[in-house]
Amino acid sequence: MQYLSSADLLLSLQSGFRPGHSTETAVLRVLSDILQAVDCGDSAALILLDLSAAFDTVDHSILLQRLQTTFSIHRWFHSYLSGWYQYVRRVPQGSVLGPILFVLYTAYFVQLIETFSLSPHLHADDTQVYGSCAPTAVALPASQISECVDAVVAWMKSNRLQLNSAKTDLWCATSRRRHQLPMTAMLIDGFPVTLVQNVHDLGIYIDGDLSMRTHVQQTTSSCFAALHQLRQVRRLVPTATFQTLTVALVNQWLDYGNSTLVNAAARLIFHLRRSDHITDALVSLHWLHVPERIQFKIAMLTYRVLHGNAPWYLGPLTSTVDVPGRRALRYARTNRLVMPPVRLATTGSRAFPVGAAHTWNSLPEHIVSASTLQSFKRHLKTFLL
């Protein structure tokens, strides 16, 4: 993997099986592009493609040919793949190289989708295809997406892959009224796919109005269910152990939850009543309130972006202030970020470029100039507590 990265052989828009990349960074890039498009008054469309038994249908002969002609690393894998007796298809399951080989096998996906003037983003075998247009031309992206998906299906069949049409979702967002969007079903490999109000994209629920209301409700419901189960063992384990359990089972969701959930978890740990103040408990746990928790996460990701430790595709979303020839200006001497223009506070201000600039520029200079990630994290949390 290190060689493939250093030789620039991996797709920049593939977030699967790569250090520093995740489903969250993938959705962050896609959602930021959609938010900015809608903020400009455009309508945006997103279609989610899913493969059936993706790893089990990889053809070794096609894979070896692709490794030779595209990546020039055929000899490395020939003996490795030839030693597996699982018929012709399938990358070795449970192996370290299996995911990498699948990523290389499907590398043409991005180039194919981009030929239709659409934007792709992949995470393993999950493919996101999206685009935007003026509200008066909504039929154009629908036609582009239809043609693009037809081409993708044809490519998959020629490479012995199978699209799972039943799990394919089509979703649209607009700053105008939704009745202006095309409502007719789209045929994908003979299967009708209709427009949905909200879509589940890599674990994130996205509403048609981009409010994230469904995601908050789903996350809160799951977390309170976990808290209900934890309550049954609260008196059976020491407080330190119970805190560890709460962090493991609940805190992983807190970045997507709400303040009610954070406070409920703290009250459960310290046996507090609903009428008791919660601030001291949160400080004792070193937990941030939800607004500060959001700031913390955005700032941490921004630091990684600015120092080249985040996915490449997040880099173009941020830019530092630079005023050549005017070094006397305070901002010209710092690494502050340019604030992108926003038309609608309800959409544009929630895109990552805007949120990152707003959060980063609100931090003191001694924090943003920290030399290491650990130092930045320590100073940031102290500042936000």
The pLDDT, as a whole number, for residue 120 is 92
The pLDDT, as a whole number, for residue 83 is 54
* Least confident interval from 173-182, 187-196, 319-328: 319-328
Q: How far is CA 266 from the centre of its chain?
A: 28
CB 81 within 8 Å of CB 63: yes
The letter for the amino acid at 107 is: A
Within 10 Å of residue 9's Cβ, how many Cβ atoms?
15
CB 337 within 8 Å of CB 356: yes
Give me the half-sphere count of Cα atoms (radius 13 Å) on the Cβ side of residue 40. 14
Token digits of residue 203: 């674990």
CB 296 within 8 Å of CB 381: yes
Please provide the size of the chain in residues: 385
SS3 of residue 252 by DSSP:
helix
Query: pLDDT tens digit string along 146-157?
Result: 889 889 989 988
Burial degree of 370 (CB within 10 A; 0-12, 13-18, 19+): middle
The pLDDT, as a whole number, for residue 361 is 93
pLDDT band at 259 (very low <50, low <70, confident <90, very high): very low
Residue 381 has pLDDT above 80, yes or no: yes
The whole-angstrom separation of Cα 278 and Cα 264 is 9
CB 237 within 8 Å of CB 268: no
CB 114 within 8 Å of CB 76: no
How large a percentage of the chain has pLDDT more than 90? Answer: 14
Residue with tokens 């989610």: 48
The torsion of the CA quartet 30, 31, 34, 35, rounded to 10 degrees, works out to -150
Query: pLDDT tens digit string along 187-227?
Result: 777 788 888 888 889 888 888 888 888 887 888 888 888 88
Q: State the average pLDDT for the chain.
A: 78
The pLDDT, as a whole number, for residue 84 is 52
DSSP 8-class letter at 363? S
Residue with tokens 């959060």: 359
The whole-angstrom separation of Cα 142 and Cα 307 is 38
Query: pLDDT tens digit string along 2-35?
Result: 666 666 667 788 888 888 888 888 998 999 999 8
Q: How far is CA 275 from the centre of its chain?
A: 38
Q: Of residues 30 and 140, which shows the higher confidence score? A: 30
* CB burial readout 303-325, b (16+ within 10 A) else e: bbbbeeebbebbeebbeebeeee
Going by their DSSP bridges, the two strands 186-188 and 191-193 should be labelled as: antiparallel
